[in-house]
């Protein structure tokens, strides 16, 4: 009996450690930017970037790194996708000045996208103080 309790405890500990490792891996992806894009007013050159996100619920905090250097941090919404993203991808929109603004990141192998809320920034800059 004592041996089976010990084995159960060992199995439970191994399961907990493996689930922690898996959870850490699910919050990291990479993306290769083929275009120069703007994120939160910062211009990102073409190249490979690491994307990390943290938080629970529909709103997460996203960090984009180039190597070990953080190049952008912003909040985004997790939006469910009907199909698995076959590969890491991103989407952009054209800005009035001709630049491309990042609108979403699609981590490969996942059923969700990280949607940037571009309108929130515009609304904050256009907001009028109440009297």
What is the value of pTM for the model shown?
Answer: 0.70
pLDDT reported for residue 117: 78
In the chain, the N- to C-terminal Cα span, in Å, equals 73
* 61, part of any domain: yes
pLDDT reported for residue 123: 36
pLDDT reported for residue 110: 94
pLDDT reported for residue 97: 92
Q: Range of 39's domain?
A: 28-126
Q: Among positive and negative, which fits the CA dihedral 33, 39, 41, 42?
A: negative
* 2, part of any domain: no
Q: Name the average pLDDT for the chain.
A: 79
Q: Is the pLDDT of residue 59 over 80?
A: yes
Count of the separate structural domains present in the chain = 1
For the segment 9-33, the average pLDDT, to the nearest whole number, is 58
User: Of 96 and 56, which is predicted with more confidence?
Assistant: 96
pLDDT reported for residue 21: 42
Closest CA to 90 of 76, 108, 77, 78: 108
* 8, part of any domain: no
pLDDT reported for residue 4: 57
* 5, part of any domain: no
* 68, part of any domain: yes
What pLDDT digit, counting tens, does each position of 26-41 carry? 599 999 999 999 999 8
pLDDT reported for residue 56: 80
């Amino acid at each position: 009996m004592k041996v089976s309790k010990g084995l159960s405890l060992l199995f439970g500990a191994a399961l907990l450690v493996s689930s922690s490792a898996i959870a850490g891996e699910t919050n990291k992806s990479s993306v290769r930017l083929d275009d120069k894009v703007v994120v939160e007013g910062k211009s990102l050159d073409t190249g490979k970037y690491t994307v990390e996100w943290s938080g629970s619920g529909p709103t997460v905090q996203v960090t984009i790194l180039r190597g070990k250097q953080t190049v952008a941090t912003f909040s985004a919404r997790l939006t469910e996708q009907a199909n698995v993203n076959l590969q890491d991808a991103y989407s952009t929109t054209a800005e009035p000045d001709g630049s491309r603004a990042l609108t979403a990141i699609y981590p490969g192998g996942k059923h969700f996208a990280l949607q940037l809320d571009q309108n929130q920034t515009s609304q904050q800059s256009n907001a009028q103080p109440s009297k």
